[in-house]
Structure 1
Amino acid sequence: MDAVEGGRERLTASARRRQRAAIEQNPSRGRRRRRGGIQLEVAPPPPPIAPPANVPAGHVPNAEGAHVVDAPEDAPAAAVWDGIRPLLGGPVDESLFISFRTHVATQIWVNRDYRGVMRPHCHAKILEPPLALTQIIERTRLTPLVTCSFRWSHKALVTAFVERWQLETNTFHMPFGEITITLDNVATILGIPVIGKVVSCPKLDDAVAQDLLVSTLGVEDSDASLALRDVRGQSVKLSWLKTIFSNLGDAPTVEKTTYAARAYLLYLLSSTLFTDKSGGRVSVGLLYVLQDLDTVHEYGWGAAALATLYRHLVLGSSQGSGELFITFIYPEGGT
């Protein structure tokens, strides 16, 4: 992740309560703003925090008092502490963050009912491709996705990051500055192409979606129609795709192998990069870019994955969301 220096310390819950009580007793100490039906309180900056006697030179505390940020070794302790103030109750200029009214952070600042820890969704295990499909899948350069799933995630850690995501900047706003997820991170974690053709899937009606299933997966019209009706919309179940690539037999023909490879790739992509909270279905539109298996490796799948992750983070940081589908994860534990 890339970091940008700059930021302020956030008030603890008890400190915010004391600050509100002081404002209620003396309204002239703070001012009130109203935006979108939500009343926010902004107090004047508190005086600089006095350093304790035992603070070593070159360190400053975080909100809990731990010395974690290094400063120049020749800087005196008092100079390092001077100017450090807690984070106030929300942004001072709301015009810079137009999504703040609907952001989950607003609920926290105004002490509304907190949604609690999010429920991350993920596919615990991705099925490996049948032996007959191994070489085809390797040529697409998407083989690393087979092993990128995980059995569990740290819900509190995921929630903490999601609550700090900002739509306007596509970054996590942390006490020490801003960090974000880049294409380099995607390439390092997933090992898939990040540069190439744009992954673009057109909107389909039922008739076009059915024809696409028949032509790319080799299924009967009746089976394709039933699969679409079973889910509604232009999507099919992952379990239905599994039946196509799992029943190849001992000596499959080249045509049947090609159909099965497309079904497996659609299953693989929908289980890793292009997921949603349904967790069990996939859009048929992805088959458009899987029609020619010899050109699948030419697409920038990593860029499409990052755009999808950004979208999920935006949805997850809104007040009405309590779930998040995790597409990929750092080995160290961060998404």
Structure 2
Amino acid sequence: MAEMPHLLHGYHDNHHRCQLFLNPNHENPLQTFRLRTVKTPWSIHNRFLEHLEAYGLLHFANLAARSGSFTADPSFLTSLIDRWRPETHTFHFRYGELAPTLKDVSMITALPIRGVPVVPPRVSPTWPTDVSGRLRLEMPISDRSSPPRGVPLRWLRTNFEILSTYADLETTKRHVFAYLLWLFGVMFPNSHGELVLPGLIFFAAKIVDEPLPQNPPYSFGSAMLFHTYRGLCDASQKTSFTSKAPLLCVSYEFLQLWS
């Protein structure tokens, strides 16, 4: 057997999905990854535009608003995962290595790649109450998870998608806050379902509460790239299967358009 290249790590290689192809006794067929795609997009209200543009989120919001016409390809994305190496954070193809970069993020999504890193602060245990207070609507609590794991995206869209043209400033802020939570849930999907994680509530609140900046202060582009790398690394190590197919948690719009 050929010696393992020095760039590859034995632990990652032993747990990599590629071992399923090499095992002739593997009984279960390889499954295509499940995707946390947005079932119903959220149209951007004109009152949201100034906040989205000031923080460099408008172009990605337009991409998310057209997700209904964007068809994600689970089989194609699965084939990419099979070629991802966690050691180098690159796809290993026959013709060499390739990986998305910050420049790709900027070109495809126009998200800012300069500024303060998007590092969520410590989450307050009272965050469900805080969100309900901000939105003036009690957030639903699932019986299956206590405390709740995040804010449901469907609940946000159902209750805050429609904003009256004559809405006052406080009502508009509530709708902007709800929309930002939904957008972050699309940008950073997770394994807990159609939820936005509590750590991202901080950034939605900052965007709504603070005066509009002249330049985008947060590097949402680098956060998306990190989230994509982490999602690919986790997915490449999923070799055990249950009744459900494994889950891929990345920004599918970005990764597929990059590919």
Q: Which residue of 1 aligns with 2:171?
A: 256
CA contact (8 A) 2:32 2:74 kept: yes
Q: Highest CA radius of gyration, 1 or 2? A: 1
TM-score (norm 1): 0.63
- CA 1:93 to 1:135, structure 2 compared with 1: closer, same or farther past 3 Å? closer
Contact 2:84 2:91 in 1 (8 A): yes
Q: Tell me which of 143, 146, 160 is aligned to 1:245.
A: 160
How many Å separate the matches in 2 of 1:206 and 1:332? Answer: 36
Which structure 1 segments of 5+ residues have no match?
Answer: 1-41, 43-87
Contact in 2 for aligned 1:189/1:329 (Cα 8 Å):
no
Q: CA deviation at 1:94?
A: 9.0
Query: Deviations along 1:124-171, whole A, 9 cap, x unmatched?
Result: 552112233233333222111223244323333212211111111111
Structure 2: how far apart are the matches of 1:307 and 1:331? 12
What is the aligned counterpart of 1:219 among 118, 127, 136? 136
Of 265, 286, 291, the residue aligned with 2:200 is 286
- Pairwise CA RMSD of aligned residues? 2.9
2:257 is equivalent to residue 324 of structure 1: no
How much does 1:198 deviate? Answer: 1.1
Q: SS in structure 2 opposite 1:291?
A: helix
Task: Indicate the structure with greater strand content.
Answer: 1
Tell me how many residue pairs correspond in the alignment.
242
The partner residue of 1:108 within 16, 21, 38 is: 21
Q: Identify the residue that residue 173 of structure 1 maps to in structure 2.
A: 92
The answer as to 2:225 corresponding to 1:311 is: no
Cα distance in 2 for partners of 1:227, 1:297 equals 34
Contact 1:206 1:234 in 2 (8 A): no
Structure 1 Cα separation of the partners of residues 168 and 106 of structure 2: 35
Shift in alpha-carbon separation, 1:241–1:95, aligned structure 2, 3 A: closer
Cα gap change, 1:152/1:257 in structure 2, threshold over 3 Å: closer, same or farther? same
Q: 2: distance between equivalents of 1:186 and 1:93?
A: 30
Distance 1:260 1:330 in 2: 26
1:185 & 1:124 partners in 2: Cα distance? 26
Amino acid at match of 2:131: L
- Residue pair 1:196, 1:299 contacting (<8 A) in 2 also: yes
1:139–1:228 CA distance, 2 compared to 1 (3 A):
farther
The within-5 A match list for 1:110-125 is 110-111=23-24, 112-113=26-27, 114-125=29-40
TM-score when scaled to structure 2? 0.80
Contact in 2 for aligned 1:121/1:279 (Cα 8 Å): yes
Give the Cα separation in 2 of the matches to 1:97 and 1:160.
Answer: 22
One-letter amino acid of the counterpart of residue 186, structure 1: V
- Give the Å deviation of 1:281: 1.2
Shift of 1:311: 1.1
Q: How does 1:124-163 map to 2 (within 5 A)?
A: 124-149=39-64, 150=67, 151-163=70-82
Contact 2:34 2:74 in 1 (8 A): yes
Percent sequence identity over aligned pairs = 21
- Rounded to whole Å, the distance in 2 between the matches of 1:121 and 1:292 is 26
From the superposition, tell whether residues 246 and 122 of structure 1 become closer, same or farther in structure 2 (CA, over 3 Å): closer
Do the aligned partners of 2:8 and 2:87 also contact (CA within 8 Å) in 1?
Answer: no
C-alpha distance in 2 between matches for 1:205 and 1:229: 21
Structure 2 unaligned segments of length 5 or more: list them. none
Q: Determine the C-alpha separation between the residues in 1 that align with 2:145 and 2:167.
A: 29
Query: SS in structure 1 opposite 2:38?
Result: coil
How many angstroms apart in 2 are the aligned matches of 1:166 and 1:320?
18
Q: Give the secondary structure class of the aligned counterpart of 2:233.
A: helix
